[in-house]
A and B are shown apart, each in its own frame.
Chain A
Amino acid sequence: MDFGFTPQQEMIRNEAAAFLSRECAMPLVRELMVTEHSHSETLWDKMASMGWMGLIFPEQYDGAGLSFVELSILMEQMGAVLMSGPYFSTVVLAGLTLLESASDSQKERWLTPLARGNLKATLALTESDGRCAVSSPTVRAERDGKDYLISGTKLFVPDAQIADLIICWAAQNSGKDLMLVVVDRDSEGLTITPLKTMDQTRRLYEVTFKRVRIGRDRVLEGYSALERVLDRAAIALSAQMIGGARRVLEMCVEFSKTRIQFGRPIGSFQAIQHRCADMLLLVESARSAVYAASCNAAENKGETGLLASIAKAYTSDAYSWIAGEGIQIHGGMGFTFEHDAHLYFKRAKADEFMFGDSNFHLDRVADYIGL
């Protein structure tokens, strides 16, 4: 057992941190926030040339064949800078779904260009009930000769407007048979409407299918792996969250050293010190949980679902609390739009509910431990 980064993992981490602080600094994030898709093609291309889209995919699909731990390392750095854009949707949601569920020829068709950075994609899972689980969808796939006609509405679909492909979770035969279908964004009958949300660094959409016609070759072989994909999405998202939480703590500590009140830096007051100590305890504990889950996912150990739920339950509460303290410690400045504290606060709250909040995951843990 060696529960620390290897020298190669350290290198990936340092490279990612340096790259993102240079190429995805806060001014860019704020600039993108007010654009249509909150996405920079330049940044995307640079990440592609670093090989980040293919990081965890097998070499036969032009990936680098690295493990889930390396993915979490990247995710943590991306979360620290509040990177926007469709990396998570493409690589984690769509990429892992294709890896787990697509046939060989489908993988060559979609996963290979995705791994090269030439294809963006997302997963349309959640519906109006707001649940992020593998439950029976209301979106219907209806047989029509050799084709399927897809109808219904998906909600909270990340990056749908910038994705080339939308992988949709649907049911046929009045909900009995479940399936994953791959739909082109530009398909006839598809309407994509942006949702107005607090966090403008992540774009969510309503996606409506009106008899969208797809061929049989766009149905993925197996949907049973969707559970595995969602477990991994929860872990990867938690990795992003610990990056953000750690950055909030750094901002607080730096601020508390220079902000003078009552004639001394506020960081010398125990009221501030103890709050920061508790923030560190939470973020480092969440990090332990995230990397334990990442190691498990990397080695397909089984019980990944339990570890994913432990990580997401713990991290969801930790990040939201830490981001709130981030505003509190910065005082009046923390409540201004100009200061970055609110960007983390909004992201933390959005992340908390994405792929299940602590209540959702605690219920899963309760089942796992035989309650």
Chain B
Amino acid sequence: MNLDYTPEEEAFRNQVRSWVSANLSPDWEQISPRQSENMDEWMAFLKQWQRKLYDAGWAGISWPKDYGGRGATINEQLIFTEEMAKTKAPNLMNVSIGIELVGPAIIHHGTEAQKQRYLRKILSAEEIWCQGFSEPGAGSDLASLQTRATPEGDHFVVTGQKVWTSWAEYSDFCILLTRTDPDAQKHKGISCLLVDMKSPGITIRPTVQITGEAEFSEVFFDGVRVPQENLVGGINQGWTVAMTILMHERGTSAIGYQIRFRNELEDLIRLAKSHDYDGRPISEDPLFRRKLAQSFVEVEVLKYNIYRGATQIMRSGKPGPESSIVKLFWSEMDRRQKALGMEMLGLYSQLVNGSEWAVDHGKWARAFLWSRAGTIYAGSSEIQRNIIAERVLGMPRA
């Protein structure tokens, strides 16, 4: 057991670091568009950034070399993600539904033709993907989804509705879960399709979120024709594909979140020194000191949880259901950290961007609101607890 990186791994870290400093302006946050102000420009900026990464061979760091990835070791993936987050490089999660989720699904379950057609353009950000999983009646109970795909000649005809689909408006393709056998048991009648978002019959209606932004949408499918060749993983095998995707959604990328929480905690510490509470700096108030220290403790514990998970992946080849612990941990912790930020700012915490009195352009209010998303998406905290109870602890099914 050790927490040291080898000299080769440290050299790799330096390589990442110097590439970032040569290719990303340190003041990119000031000079580039803000997500909260202009989504179109922000997306264009992210695509450009990913293209840069792709050209330098950094996109798809975890993908096998055969598919244009870097085939990096688990430790190299950790280092890469850590360094990207430390330098506060743009967070690729937004455009990388393709890299993180769709790519692994196609690599594991796709046909050779699908791999040739889609993978490289995912890496280069030429094609942006969204994930068509949730429906109005299928959130936590994903397997009860009702969007129908009916075979008709060499096509499927898709009719139904998806909700909370991130970046749907900006996507070229959708990885879509559909019901192909309504008579089978619910997990066994699902198929996974790759759908061109420009197909006739698709309507996208952006949904305004509690932050006022509209990063996700409702997507309606009305008789949309999808070629048979776009089926992934075989007919009625969609649940297996979905599980691959959900497993990756809870994998090593969490280290990037961890560094972000660490950066945000450092911002909170700066805030504590520059803002007063009851006539003295917040940093001198014994209770706030403890609360900030507790947040630091949790951020550090998260890091070591992720390291243990990474060793697990290294040894067994894939993330186990234990990755649910990491997801549950960071999402719940994020809520506590952002609530602490609000508590420190008191009345000022409610001021949003645009108010001249707002602290840090209202970023804490925005972060506070966003922290309510993490405990819902990618399997709510309740679902994670079900998984832990049943699959890790072996408790009887509810």
Closest CB-CB distance, B48 to chain A, in whole Å? 33
Residue of B4, B272, B384, B393 contacting most chain A CB atoms (<10 Å) = B393
Q: Indicate if A365 sits at the interface (CB-CB under 8 A).
A: yes
A288 to chain B: which residues have CB within 8 Å? 301, 304-305, 307-308
A359 to chain B: which residues have CB within 8 Å? 290
Question: Within the assembled complex, what's the spacing in Å between the Cα atoms of A264 and B395?
Answer: 12
- Given A310-B301, A313-B294, decide whether A273 and B1 contact each other with a Cβ distance below 8 A: no
Contact of A363 with B289 in the complex, beta carbons under 8 Å: yes
Q: Indicate if B207 sits at the interface (CB-CB under 8 A).
A: no
Contact of B314 with A273 in the complex, beta carbons under 8 Å: no
Question: Within the assembled complex, what's the spacing in Å between the Cα atoms of A280 and B320?
Answer: 15
Q: Indicate if B352 sits at the interface (CB-CB under 8 A).
A: no
Closest CB-CB distance, B346 to chain A, in whole Å? 18
Contact of A257 with B396 in the complex, beta carbons under 8 Å: yes
Indicate with 1 or 0, residue by residue over B354-398, a CB within 8 angstroms of chain A CB atoms: 000000000000000000000000000010111011101111111
Kindly list 17 other residue pairs between chains A and B, CB separation below 8 angstroms, not including A268-B395, A286-B301, A365-B296. Answer: A1-B311, A2-B1, A3-B3, A3-B311, A6-B1, A257-B395, A270-B382, A276-B393, A278-B385, A280-B325, A292-B3, A295-B1, A313-B293, A314-B298, A362-B294, A365-B293, A369-B296
Nearest A-chain residue to B299, judged by Cβ: A310
Q: Indicate if A34 sits at the interface (CB-CB under 8 A).
A: no
Contact of B297 with A253 in the complex, beta carbons under 8 Å: no
Indicate with 1 or 0, residue by residue over A284-308, a CB within 8 angstroms of chain B CB atoms: 1110110110111001000000000
Q: What total of chain A residues lie within 8 Å of the partner, measured CB to CB?
A: 50
Q: Indicate if A193 sits at the interface (CB-CB under 8 A).
A: no
Indicate with 1 or 0, residue by residue over B269-283, a CB within 8 angstroms of chain A CB atoms: 100110000000001
Question: Within the assembled complex, what's the spacing in Å between the Cα atoms of A291 and B2?
Answer: 9
Closest CB-CB distance, A238 to chain B, in whole Å? 12
Partner of B393, one of A2, A253, A313: A253
Question: Within the assembled complex, what's the spacing in Å between the Cα atoms of A280 and B395?
Answer: 13
Chain B interface (Cβ within 8 Å of chain A)? 1-5, 9, 75, 78, 269, 272-273, 283, 286, 289-290, 292-294, 296-298, 300-302, 304-305, 307-308, 310-312, 314-315, 322, 325, 328-329, 382, 384-386, 388-390, 392-398
Q: Indicate if A262 sits at the interface (CB-CB under 8 A).
A: no
Closest CB-CB distance, B327 to chain A, in whole Å? 10
Partner of A4, one of B272, B290, B308: B308
Question: Within the assembled complex, what's the spacing in Å between the Cα atoms of A156 and B150?
Answer: 75
Partner of A314, one of B301, B322, B382, B397: B301
Partner of A371, one of B292, B301, B382, B384: B292
Question: Within the assembled complex, what's the spacing in Å between the Cα atoms of A362 and B296?
Answer: 9
Nearest A-chain residue to B392, judged by Cβ: A280
- Given A5-B1, A273-B390, A281-B328, decide whether A267 and B396 contact each other with a Cβ distance below 8 A: yes
- Given A268-B398, A284-B305, decide whether A4 and B297 contact each other with a Cβ distance below 8 A: no
Interface of A: prevailing SS: helix
Closest CB-CB distance, B309 to chain A, in whole Å? 9
Residue of A289, A366, A370 contacting most chain B CB atoms (<10 Å) = A366
Q: Indicate if A336 sits at the interface (CB-CB under 8 A).
A: no
Contact of A277 with B384 in the complex, beta carbons under 8 Å: yes
Nearest B-chain residue to A281, judged by Cβ: B325
Interface of B: prevailing SS: helix
- Given A9-B1, A273-B398, A281-B388, decide whether A371 and B393 contact each other with a Cβ distance below 8 A: no
Closest CB-CB distance, B366 to chain A, in whole Å? 24
- Given A274-B385, A280-B388, A359-B290, decide whether A2 and B398 contact each other with a Cβ distance below 8 A: no
- Given A285-B305, A288-B308, A295-B1, decide whether A267 and B395 contact each other with a Cβ distance below 8 A: yes
Chain A interface (Cβ within 8 Å of chain B)? 1-6, 9, 69, 249, 253, 256-257, 264-265, 267-270, 272-274, 276-278, 280-281, 284-286, 288-289, 291-292, 294-296, 299, 309-310, 313-314, 358-359, 362-363, 365-366, 369-371
Contact of B315 with A4 in the complex, beta carbons under 8 Å: yes
Question: Within the assembled complex, what's the spacing in Å between the Cα atoms of A351 and B397?
Answer: 35
A299 to chain B: which residues have CB within 8 Å? 2, 4
Contact of A253 with B395 in the complex, beta carbons under 8 Å: yes
A289 to chain B: which residues have CB within 8 Å? 297, 300-301, 304
Question: Within the assembled complex, what's the spacing in Å between the Cα atoms of A264 and B322?
Answer: 27
Question: Within the assembled complex, what's the spacing in Å between the Cα atoms of A362 and B294?
Answer: 6
Contact of A292 with B304 in the complex, beta carbons under 8 Å: yes
Nearest A-chain residue to B291, judged by Cβ: A362
Closest CB-CB distance, B176 to chain A, in whole Å? 30
Question: Within the assembled complex, what's the spacing in Å between the Cα atoms of A369 and B386?
Answer: 36
Contact of B294 with A3 in the complex, beta carbons under 8 Å: no
Contact of B289 with A69 in the complex, beta carbons under 8 Å: no
B305 to chain A: which residues have CB within 8 Å? 284-285, 288
B75 to chain A: which residues have CB within 8 Å? 1
Residue of B293, B300, B396, B397 contacting most chain A CB atoms (<10 Å) = B293
Question: Within the assembled complex, what's the spacing in Å between the Cα atoms of A6 and B398?
Answer: 37
Contact of A1 with B396 in the complex, beta carbons under 8 Å: no
Question: What 6 pairs between A and B have smallest CB-CB spacing?
Answer: A273-B389, A288-B304, A277-B385, A277-B388, A365-B293, A362-B293
Contact of A371 with B289 in the complex, beta carbons under 8 Å: yes
- Given A276-B395, A362-B297, decide whether A3 and B390 contact each other with a Cβ distance below 8 A: no
Question: Within the assembled complex, what's the spacing in Å between the Cα atoms of A289 and B3?
Answer: 12
Closest CB-CB distance, A280 to chain B, in whole Å? 6
Closest CB-CB distance, A235 to chain B, in whole Å? 13
Contact of A1 with B3 in the complex, beta carbons under 8 Å: yes
Question: Within the assembled complex, what's the spacing in Å between the Cα atoms of A234 and B312?
Answer: 27
Partner of A3, one of B1, B272, B290, B297: B1
Contact of A3 with B325 in the complex, beta carbons under 8 Å: no
Residue of A2, A3, A270, A286 contacting most chain B CB atoms (<10 Å) = A3
Closest CB-CB distance, A312 to chain B, in whole Å? 10
Residue of A1, A295, A359 contacting most chain B CB atoms (<10 Å) = A1
Contact of A4 with B300 in the complex, beta carbons under 8 Å: no
- Given A3-B307, A268-B397, decide whether A284 and B325 contact each other with a Cβ distance below 8 A: yes
Question: Within the assembled complex, what's the spacing in Å between the Cα atoms of A358 and B322?
Answer: 26
Nearest B-chain residue to A252, judged by Cβ: B393
Question: Within the assembled complex, what's the spacing in Å between the Cα atoms of A67 and B365?
Answer: 47
B269 to chain A: which residues have CB within 8 Å? 369-371
Partner of A363, one of B293, B296, B382, B385: B293
Closest CB-CB distance, A277 to chain B, in whole Å? 4
- Given A2-B311, A273-B386, A313-B294, decide whether A366 and B3 contact each other with a Cβ distance below 8 A: no
Contact of A366 with B293 in the complex, beta carbons under 8 Å: yes
Closest CB-CB distance, A120 to chain B, in whole Å? 30
A-B contact pairs, 12 of them (CB 8 A): A1-B5, A253-B394, A273-B385, A273-B389, A273-B393, A273-B398, A277-B385, A284-B322, A286-B301, A289-B300, A292-B3, A363-B290
Question: Within the assembled complex, what's the spacing in Å between the Cα atoms of A11 and B281?
Answer: 52
Nearest A-chain residue to B4, judged by Cβ: A1
Question: Within the assembled complex, what's the spacing in Å between the Cα atoms of A286 and B398?
Answer: 28
B314 to chain A: which residues have CB within 8 Å? 2
Closest CB-CB distance, A365 to chain B, in whole Å? 4
